[in-house]
Amino acid sequence: MDARALRSEFPILDQEINGHPLVYLDNAATSQKPRSVLDAMKRYYEFDNANVHRGVHTLGSRATDAYEGAREKVARFLNAASAREIIFNRGTTTGLNMVAGGYARQHLREGDEIVITQSEHHSNLIPWQQAAKATGATLKFIPLQEDGSLTLADVEATVTERTKIVSIAYVSNVMGTVHPVKEIAGIAHKRGAIMVVDGAQSSPHMKVDVRDLDVDFYAFSGHKMCGPTGIGALYGKEALLEKMEPIEFGGEMIDFVELYDSSWKEIPWKFEGGTPIIAGAVGLGAAIDFLESVGLDEIDRHGRELSRYAYGRLSEIEDIAIYGPSGNRSGLVTFNLGDVHPHDVATVLDTEGIAIRAGHHCCQPLMRWLKVSATARASFYLYNTEEDVDRLVDALVKTKEFFQL
Amino acid sequence: MSQLDDLYRRVIMDHYKNPRNRGTMDDESVTVNLNNPTCGDRISLQLHIEDGVVQNARFTGEGCSISMSSASMMTDAVKGKSTEEALALAGKFSSLMKGEQVEFDEYEDIDALSGVGKFPARIKCATLAWNALRKGVEHDGQGKVEENVEQ
């Protein structure tokens, strides 16, 4: 994989920020988009745009084919048993809310347990808090090791016969930890619970095979994996989707509508109320084509190598605190530079043309666990190079000097 | 790094490293706890208002150099001012953040924060303490006021 060559596929990266060539290291927040994705969406709007599933006219058929074709692509991408198991939505947050609102609320009762971790993104925490409040179920947390990882012994000890749902991020958006999802799913199933996976940070970086992992639900976002914002998908095993209720009602998702009652379409369409995100799905399909043409395994290797390189180079800086495991981490590094507040770090880096994220990363409970109010995070993608990391390190050294640490 | 020098002037760094009025007091007439949920900055501002005058102001909190230095300057600036004068200063500070030409003859250190206006993402850092001041004056005598702010 040639990151430098791939970089030229991303028009936005070819610019100067504050007089320096842009180094974009905020990929865990959102990735940039390659020309092929932008072109696919433009082409859709210029030639095929129409509403789907109802037009008798030619454009209506083309739009429907494009939309349903993208669903087939996502199904193949995740190795789902069929495209019926793929629901298009706005992204990971919506996907997890669909499961918490449409499945958990229907099937959980008082005394049941939902098991997650303290390192979850707010999107994989708050929907479960709400479902627990609504059903009387209890929310439980698998304890974290010092580096933010989990042990299977702790999973075994936390997941009980009363646990109905286990929900975990495949990759932590702060610690970069890659959790053993397949093994955790095995434990969940042994106790009769279903396994939900927040795939926001895994799908951009690695091959995910939902059948091999044997997970029950898997939610991810398009915009973090070269696709447009506003589109994502939820995978659910067919039998479970049949037991899940829609959380949005209206046009598109209905079968027969009477004055006082209505019936729904079959899965997955009953979960897609309103005119769907058609151009977004087309863009996501193009993003999947792009990632597969590069190779997911190559992308994974590249991210881990950059992360390892960054971990090593950042460790050279005195007074830096790096969070998360030293090994088995995905393409991101979260840190704090002495007493300099991460917002000040991010502002200084911005003047050097380097974009990083500073803040709580939608993980307030994890920040409390780390005993910090905020952190800085550099996250990598397929177009980043060791040179980008070197520029980050140089700028951090300058930041230290500037604040006279 | 001239752009940076403009943002982080010596006087700002001085207030950040040697904050004035940092701590708590026992004779406060109102305490305001403000968070900025998008970035995690947090301020707890105590005011002792008597006879319509800010007799004393103290703060504790966590945040970046801009938010903490701004709190230091604000508390220093409003001490001894009537609540009307304090609110007028808050209004003037908002103008400063919008890039308008204003000068703080009352407390010149604040002029140093004019550079923040050029960093849109950081304006909310600088205004946190001043928003706490507004809330404090508004809710004086009501004890504790807790709020999240989206500015």
Q: What is the pLDDT of residues A361-384, one digit of tens each?
A: 899 899 999 999 899 999 999 999
Contact A402 B8 (CB under 8 A): yes
Q: Does A344 touch chain B (CB under 8 A)?
A: yes
Q: pLDDT value at position B151?
A: 44
Establish, for the pair of chains A and B, how many residue pairs have beta carbons separated by less than 8 Å. Answer: 48
Respond yes or no on whether the N-terminal peptide bond of residue A268 is cis (omega within 30° of 0): yes
Cβ-Cβ contacts under 8 Å, A358 against chain B: 39
Nearest chain A residue (CA) to B42: A373
- CA A197, chain centre distance (Å): 10
Taking the CA of residue B65 and the nearest CA in chain A, the distance in Å comes to 7
Q: pLDDT value at position A272?
A: 97
Cβ-Cβ contacts under 8 Å, B64 against chain A: 341-344
Q: Which of A348, A373, A397, A399 to mutate to test the interface with B (most CBs of B within 10 A)?
A: A373
Contact A351 B3 (CB under 8 A): yes
More confident residue, B4 or A50: A50
What ipTM goes with this model? Answer: 0.82
Q: CA B135, B137, B138: angle at the middle one, nearest 5?
A: 60
Cβ-Cβ contacts under 8 Å, A20 against chain B: none
Which of A169-173, A332-336, A375-379, B97-101 is least confident?
B97-101
Comparing CB atoms, the residue among A343, A351, A360 nearest residue B4 is A351
- CA A246, chain centre distance (Å): 22
Q: In a 3-state reduction of DSSP, which class is residue A41?
A: helix
The tens digit of pLDDT for each residue in A139-160 reads 999 999 999 999 999 999 999 9
pTM of the model: 0.93
For chain A, give the mean pLDDT. Answer: 96
User: In terms of Cα–Cα distance, which of A333, A324, A325 is closest to A306?
Assistant: A333
Q: Which of A122, A334, A339, A347 to mutate to test the interface with B (most CBs of B within 10 A)?
A: A347
Comparing CB atoms, the residue among B1, B42, B64 nearest residue A343 is B64
Confidence category of residue B148, pLDDT binned at 50, 70, 90: low
Q: pLDDT value at position A58?
A: 95
Q: Cα separation of A134 and A139, whole Å? A: 12
Contact A373 B40 (CB under 8 A): yes
Taking the CA of residue B110 and the nearest CA in chain A, the distance in Å comes to 19
The tens digit of pLDDT for each residue in A178-234 reads 999 999 999 999 999 999 999 999 999 999 999 999 999 999 999 999 999 999 999
Q: What is the mean pLDDT of residues A249-253?
A: 92
Cβ-Cβ contacts under 8 Å, B62 against chain A: 373
Residues of A taking part in catalysis: 362
Tell me which residues of chain B have a C-beta less than 8 Å from any C-beta of chain A: 1, 3-4, 7-8, 13, 38-42, 62-66, 119, 121-122, 125
Q: Cα separation of B46 and A370, whole Å? A: 28
Q: Is the pLDDT of residue A239 over 80?
A: yes
Which of A34-43, A279-288, A361-370 is least confident?
A361-370
Q: Cα separation of B51 and A148, whole Å? A: 53
Contact A341 B64 (CB under 8 A): yes
Confidence category of residue A405, pLDDT binned at 50, 70, 90: low
Phi, psi of A178 (to 5 degrees): -100, 110
Q: Which of B3, B9, B10, B64 to mutate to test the interface with A (most CBs of A within 10 A)?
A: B64
Q: pLDDT value at position B53?
A: 96
Comparing CB atoms, the residue among A18, A351, A360 nearest residue B40 is A360
The tens digit of pLDDT for each residue in B11-70 reads 999 999 999 999 999 988 999 999 887 777 899 999 999 999 999 999 999 999 999 999
